[in-house]
Amino acid sequence: MALTLICGVDEAGRGPLAGAVYAAAVILNPERPILGLADSKKLSEKKRDLLSIEIKQHALAWAIASSSVAEIDSINILQASLLAMKRAVESLQQQFNVSPAFGEIFVQVDGNKCPKIDLPCEAIVQGDSKVQAISAASILAKVARDTELYALDLQYPNYGFAKHKGYPTAFHIEMLSLHGISAIHRLSYAPVKKVMLLNLGANT
């Protein structure tokens, strides 16, 4: 009897003022269960890192993709998030060809909108707390984005990206005001736009 394989999809990084938005797609192996899967926001960084390794080792298939800062500013964060999800699913499809005899892939996405993909798809609000494959995807996406922010912290040491991961903390806003906008800040976001306008005003 053919099986339906659940592909969980989630994103990370819609709220931050800087860096790409990431998405992951995961098909878990029912014969290799992973204990402790949960919404990535409810896990410690150490736990996420450990689970990320386990997911990559034991899942039937997984893929991570992103949308750039330029894409976020061009098409808005919602569309950029959906584009990253689409890229993750398509990358997973390329890696993992399911034979008709084995089954089909059914995509379940965290949230209330589905990316434009050629697979059956269902959006589930708070899916990262309800579906294990979505929980796994949320972990991979979050770990991948945090890894990027650690790297960006070395490139742009004035902003404290390693601490706040680009989120609009008081410290981040203060550093933005002090040092101005970097090449990886999202110009379409209100706090960044405000600093940009203030700087323009100061230079006129």
Does residue 91 lie within any of the structural domains?
Answer: yes
3-state SS of 11-30 is EECCCCCECCEEEEEEECCC
Q: In terms of pTM, does the model score above 0.85?
A: yes
Q: What pLDDT, on a 0 to 100 scale, did the predictor assign at position 103?
A: 62
The per-residue pLDDT of the chain, averaged, comes to: 92
Residues 184, 194 within the same domain:
yes
Residues 77, 123 within the same domain:
yes
Strand-pair category, 61-67 with 21-27 = antiparallel
Q: What pLDDT, on a 0 to 100 scale, did the predictor assign at position 4?
A: 85
Residues 26, 106 within the same domain:
yes
Residues 136, 161 within the same domain:
no
Interatomic CA distance for residues 125 and 106, integer angstroms: 17
Q: How does residue 97 score in pLDDT terms, banded at 50, 70 and 90?
A: low
Answer whether residue 100 shows pLDDT above 90: no
Residues 110, 187 within the same domain:
no
Does residue 204 lie within any of the structural domains?
Answer: no
Answer whether residue 19 shows pLDDT above 60: yes
Count of the separate structural domains present in the chain: 2
Q: What pLDDT, on a 0 to 100 scale, did the predictor assign at position 98?
A: 56
- Listed residue (123, 170, 134) closest to 26, CA to CA: 134
Residues 70, 150 within the same domain:
yes
Helix runs in 121-169, H state only: 132-155, 161-164
What is the span of the domain harbouring residue 183?
155-199
